[in-house]
Amino acid sequence: MSDFKRISVRGMSKRFGEKLALQDFTLDLYKGEFVTFLGPSGCGKSTALNCITGLLPISSGEIYIDDECIDDSKRKTAPEKREFGMVFQNYALFPHLTVFDNIAFGLRLRKHTRKSVIEKVESALRLVHLEGYSNKYPTQMSGGEQQRVAIARCIVLEPRLLLLDEPLSNLDAKLRVELRYELKALHERLRVTTIYVTHDQTEALALSDRIVVMRAGKIQQVGTPEEVFSDPANLFVADFMGFKNVWKGTLQSLAESPDHLDAVVGLGVTTLRASLHYPQGDARREAITAAFSSGAPVVTAIRPEDIHLRPAQGMNALPCTATLVEYQGQASQVSAGFDPSSPERNAGDRIDFRSAQRVGVGEALQLGVAPDNILLFPASDLATGGQAQERAAP
């Protein structure tokens, strides 16, 4: 087992015929880190994973482990020589082999002695809580158990890098949460450097040290779960992280101070005061000041959780009428239309919020949102963020 400090991917691109599936992908992974590639289907996250494993040849760029180049788009170390482990969405257990033989597969290829194979397989089975499953065949087990065997099959080889390609997507909701806890515990314990691919932001936030948000083959933002969740770099990331209230408007005034911007946005029916924590040097700050000086439209991004049924002091008022109420147990998901609706307003604009209190359809509401809870992005983000709009709510 060769030790290392860092895996660096530099300017990696992947082309399928005319289509550029992955563009200028650059990322440093540090030993022991848990990094998640997050994005909607078709964003290139699985392509990036397969390129790093070497299963897909890369079109340009380089991959290094410390100073050792394992792929420079011309010459590459074969996938079987990289000492990486991979877990697949469909488990990919060998159906003709028992659980024991599945886990022993890699050890036997590495010519371990009989005794060491037995010891290692048994300790791997203990690690994933499957003692006593040695002689079962994959088809005799549930999906969750099969995926745990697949994980054991990888970690028994102590890989330099563990790659998981949507490992929980084939499981039902309850098992998914259970296995997610187990993955977390396993990583806390073994500290295997891990890349995890998913389209589920809950999984990404729960598991990762860092998240790489991707769209259309490009990295949108790299950051800790907290950074990505509360400080999204653009409208796409914001939308993916649940900022569902995206309303078009124009900047009426903008006051600059070193670490934030105070804006007033006209929505047609009402105006909003927004306090933006965009420090100097932030690309978002430049985009908003540019939009103000050119008079270009902007869009809001507000979480449903930040819109309140009973506005407190200092909040923006949102007069509206409830149009749709979805009961979801502890709270209801409510959609509302602005009052009074006016022809210049985009008919698609609606207010999404959550309410613990029962709200009736047609009820007139006076909602409120704090200036601190509003993000603004240039409306030109909408065009490139179109894909995000199509994405079904999680």
Quick one: 90 or 323, whose CB is closer to another protein? 90
- Choose the stretch contacting another protein; rule: CB under 8 A; options: 90-98, 199-207, 237-245, 276-284: 90-98
- Choose the stretch contacting another protein; rule: CB under 8 A; options: 83-91, 255-263, 269-277, 357-365: 83-91
Q: Is 229 in the site for another protein (CB under 8 A)?
A: no
Quick one: 165 or 381, whose CB is closer to another protein? 165
State which of residues 20, 69, 92, 216 lies at the interface with another protein (CB under 8 A).
92
* Token pair 């998981």 in the structure block, residue: 164
DSSP code of 76? B
Cis upstream peptide for 258 (omega within 30°): no
Sites for another protein among residues 117-156 (CB under 8 A): 137-140, 146, 150, 153-154
Backbone angles phi, psi at 145, to 5 degrees: -65, -40
State which of residues 157, 183, 197, 238 lies at the interface with another protein (CB under 8 A).
157
Q: Is 91 in the site for another protein (CB under 8 A)?
A: yes
Q: Is 359 in the site for another protein (CB under 8 A)?
A: no
Q: Is 80 in the site for another protein (CB under 8 A)?
A: yes
DSSP code of 138? G
Q: Is 88 in the site for another protein (CB under 8 A)?
A: yes
In whole angstroms, give the CA distance from residue 263 to residue 274: 5
- Shortest Cβ 293–another protein spacing (Å): 52
Q: Say if residues 100 and 141 touch (Cβ distance below 8 Å).
A: no
155: tokens are: 């970690």
Q: Is 384 in the site for another protein (CB under 8 A)?
A: no
Q: Are strands 194-198 and 161-165 parallel, antiparallel or unpaired?
A: parallel
Q: Is 84 in the site for another protein (CB under 8 A)?
A: yes
Query: Is residue 328 exposed (0-12), middle (13-18) or buried (19+ Cβ within 10 Å)?
Result: exposed
- Choose the stretch contacting another protein; rule: CB under 8 A; options: 74-82, 209-217, 220-228, 381-389: 74-82
State which of residues 8, 10, 40, 79 lies at the interface with another protein (CB under 8 A).
79
In whole angstroms, give the CA distance from residue 342 to residue 247: 14
Q: Which residues touch 121 (CB under 8 Å, ≥6 apart)?
A: 100, 103, 104, 107, 134, 156
Residues in the chain, total: 394
Q: Are strands 298-301 and 307-308 parallel, antiparallel or unpaired?
A: unpaired
Q: Under the rule (CB under 8 A), what is the footprint of another protein? A: 53, 55, 79-81, 84-86, 88, 90-97, 105-106, 109-110, 137-140, 146, 150, 153-154, 157
